């Protein structure tokens, strides 16, 4: 029985990866756009490193954490849209008529996201190292960074899957993009929290879980081993993942609605 389940998960994960690979825009865009933004922002805001209290003198090193979150965001949108398309074309019904277990579908879907997450992380790290960023936490830190980035992708991916399963609509998934975008911007993305002057902005950034995800990744790059930052980052990543997977599973059960 478990062999069959494993086979189902593997095949669905494979399908998820194949679909991504066969839509080149879905690979290129999540890789290129965040790096482009990084280049623009690092160039434009390099002067900010001269602010007293700025934690590093390389804005690229400071900002390198951001592509990991943006990449997760794009991959989420693509995965969610693909799942919504499955619902709209009736492909999900086809799967529902097989002995497939719902959890296999979700796991397989997320499997594709894991694969993309690993590739994206390697690319961003590679680019960062190529432009001279030093990883203060060393090779071990790089591994931890990849694990954290992938965990974040899974969490976001499950949110995208929830949106797709709940609404059955690709447009609805796409309309989540601005929401995620807002969460990304109203965080310590561009400036350390203690250097945000405007009180309400700093308060929002402090309450925003995305700040802690960014800060955890950032700490591995510019600080080394900051236990508090890592604990908060992993903690929030796990929490988001658990909640999102639960929501997605419930939505999947409703959507499959088989007797």
Partner 1 sequence: MTDRHGIEAQGLVRVFKKGPRAVDGIDLRVEPGEIYGFLGPNGAGKSTTVLMLVTLLPPTEGSARVAGYDVVSEGPHVRASIGAALQEAALDPLLTGREHLRLQTTMHGMSAADRKQRSGELLERVGLTQAADRKVRTYSGGMKRRLDLALALVHSPSILFLDEPTTGLDIQSRLALWAEVERLARDEGVTVFLTTQYLEEADALADRVGIIDHGKIVAEGSPAELKAQVGRPTVEVVPADREERDRAAAILARFGEPCGSAAEGVAVRLRSGEADLAEIVRALDAENLKVEHLQLHQPSLDDVFLAKTGRSLEGAGDEEEVTPAAELALDRA
Partner 2 sequence: MRALAVARGVAWRTLHNVFTNPSLLIPSLVFPLFFFVAFAGGLSQVDNVPGFDFPLGYTAFQFVFVLLQSAAFGGVFTGFGIARDFETGFARRLLLAAPNRTGIVLGYGGAALVRWLVTAAVLTIVALLVGMTVGGDGIDLLGLYTLALLVNIAAVLWAAGVAMRLRTMQAGPVMQMPVFLVLFFAPVYVPLSLLQGWIHGLATVNPLTRVLEAGRGFLAGSPTEVGVAFAVALGLAALFSLWALRGLRSAEAAG
Binding stretches for partner 2 (CB under 8 A) = 39-41, 43-48, 50-52, 175, 178, 182, 185-186, 189-191, 195-198, 200-201, 205
Least distance between partner 1 and beta carbon 23 (Å): 7
Q: Which of 40, 43, 51, 91 binds partner 1 (CB under 8 A)?
A: 91
Cβ pair 230, 216 in contact under 8 A: yes
253 binds partner 1 (CB under 8 A): no
Could you tell me how many residues of this chain bind partner 1 (CB under 8 A)? 31
259 binds partner 1 (CB under 8 A): yes
Q: In the structure encoding, which two tokens stand for residue 208, read together?
A: 């925003």
- The residue range among 16-24, 112-120, 146-154, 156-164 that interacts with partner 1, by the rule CB under 8 A, is 16-24
98 binds partner 1 (CB under 8 A): yes
Residue 95, contacted partner among partner 2, partner 1, none, CB below 5-8 A by kind: partner 1
Least distance between partner 1 and beta carbon 90 (Å): 3
4 binds partner 1 (CB under 8 A): yes
Residue 130, contacted partner among partner 1, partner 2, none, CB below 5-8 A by kind: none
Binding residues for partner 1 (CB under 8 A):
4, 7-8, 11-12, 15, 18-19, 22-23, 86-100, 168, 254-255, 257-259
């Amino acid at each position: 029985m478990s062999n069959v389940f494993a086979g189902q998960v593997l095949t669905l994960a494979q399908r998820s990866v194949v679909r991504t690979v066969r839509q080149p825009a879905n690979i290129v865009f999540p890789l290129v756009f965040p790096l482009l933004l990084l280049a623009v922002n690092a160039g434009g805001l390099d002067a900010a490193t001269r602010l007293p209290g700025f934690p590093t003198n390389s804005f690229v090193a400071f900002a390198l954490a951001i592509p990991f979150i943006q990449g997760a965001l794009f991959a989420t949108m693509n995965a969610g849209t693909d799942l919504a398309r499955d619902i709209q074309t009736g492909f999900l019904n086809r799967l529902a008529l097989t002995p497939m277990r719902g959890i296999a579908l979700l796991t397989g879907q997320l499997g594709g996201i894991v694969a993309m997450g690993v590739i994206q992380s390697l690319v961003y790290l590679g680019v960062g190292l190529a432009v001279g960023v030093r990883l203060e936490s060393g090779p071990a830190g790089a591994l931890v960074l990849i694990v954290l980035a992938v965990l974040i992708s899974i969490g976001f991916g499950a949110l995208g899957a929830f949106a797709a399963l709940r609404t059955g609509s690709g447009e609805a998934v796409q309309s989540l993009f601005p929401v995620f975008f807002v969460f990304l911007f109203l965080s310590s993305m561009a400036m350390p929290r203690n250097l945000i002057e405007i009180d309400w902005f700093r308060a929002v950034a402090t309450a925003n879980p995305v700040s802690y995800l960014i800060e955890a990744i950032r700490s591995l790059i510019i600080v080394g081993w900051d236990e508090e930052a890592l604990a908060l980052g992993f903690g929030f990543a796990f929490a988001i993942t658990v909640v999102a997977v639960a929501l997605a599973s419930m939505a999947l059960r409703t959507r499959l609605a088989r007797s």
